[in-house]
Structures are given as C-alpha cells and as structure tokens.
C-alpha cells in the first residue's frame, strides 16, 4: 500500500506552502493523512510537506506511550519501521479529519476523524 496518494501529497504540499508563507501555523492545520503501525504502537497525523524537500513531512507524532508531539518525519524512513509481528506502517483509508492538529494533540485517542 502506498503511504501517500497523489491527492494527499498535493494537499500536503499546499499546506507546506501556506505554513512557509506564515499564513497558517502547523497546529492550525487539519491533518491530511493518518499513518499508523498495525499494532497501535505508533501513529503519525501528517498535515504538511516541505515544498523544497517532499520527503520531509510535518505533523503530530505519537510513538508508544509517549505524549503526542509536533515533529518532522522523513517519509522514506517509515517503511523500515515495523510493529510487533512485523506489522508495517499503514495509511488509514477511512481517516476523515475535521479538527486541527492542536485538537488531536489535546486528545490523542486515535479516531476516524472527529
């Protein structure tokens, strides 16, 4: 399964341009895609891509029992990560967010959109 579909990549790049221009802060962005480890040990709510380096994504990251935090992640690093029983990083095909990253940071339970 490809982690980012073309439409999601385009929206992430547009958000990256907006964040770079200073018209929006990262926490104000609505995540575009949710990636997760199948065993629940990690999730990434991605909201922007660096327009100059499309391998660098920005969003909310939660690994293990850590509190969620804003971070950058290299997309090319994610396929190497595996959960228990060799579960790979997957894209949540049913994720339809309506709230900002700041909302998810304050209430990190994985949900389908909220």
pTM for the structure as a whole: 0.87
| pLDDT mean over 36-63 | 91
Region of 85 please: left (phi>0), alpha (psi -120 to 50) or beta. Answer: left
Q: Is the pLDDT of residue 111 over 70?
A: no
> Taking Cα atoms as reference points, which of 53, 63, 59 lies closest to residue 26?
59
Is a pLDDT exceeding 70 seen at residue 1?
A: no
Q: How confident is the model at residue 41 (pLDDT cuts 50, 70, 90)?
A: confident
State residue 96's pLDDT score. 92
Size of the chain, expressed as the number of residues it contains: 114
Supply the pLDDT for residue 28.
93
């Amino acid at each position: 399964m490809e982690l980012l579909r073309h439409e999601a990549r385009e929206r992430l790049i547009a958000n990256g341009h907006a964040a770079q221009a200073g018209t929006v802060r990262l926490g104000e962005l609505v995540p575009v895609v949710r990636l997760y480890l199948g065993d629940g040990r990690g999730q990434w709510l991605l909201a922007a891509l660096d327009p100059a380096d499309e391998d660098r994504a920005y969003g909310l990251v939660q690994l293990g029992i850590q509190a969620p935090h804003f971070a950058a992640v290299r997309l090319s690093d994610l396929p190497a990560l595996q959960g228990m029983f060799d579960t790979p990083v997957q894209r949540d095909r049913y994720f339809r967010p309506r709230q900002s990253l700041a909302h998810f940071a304050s209430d990190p339970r994985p949900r389908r959109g909220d």
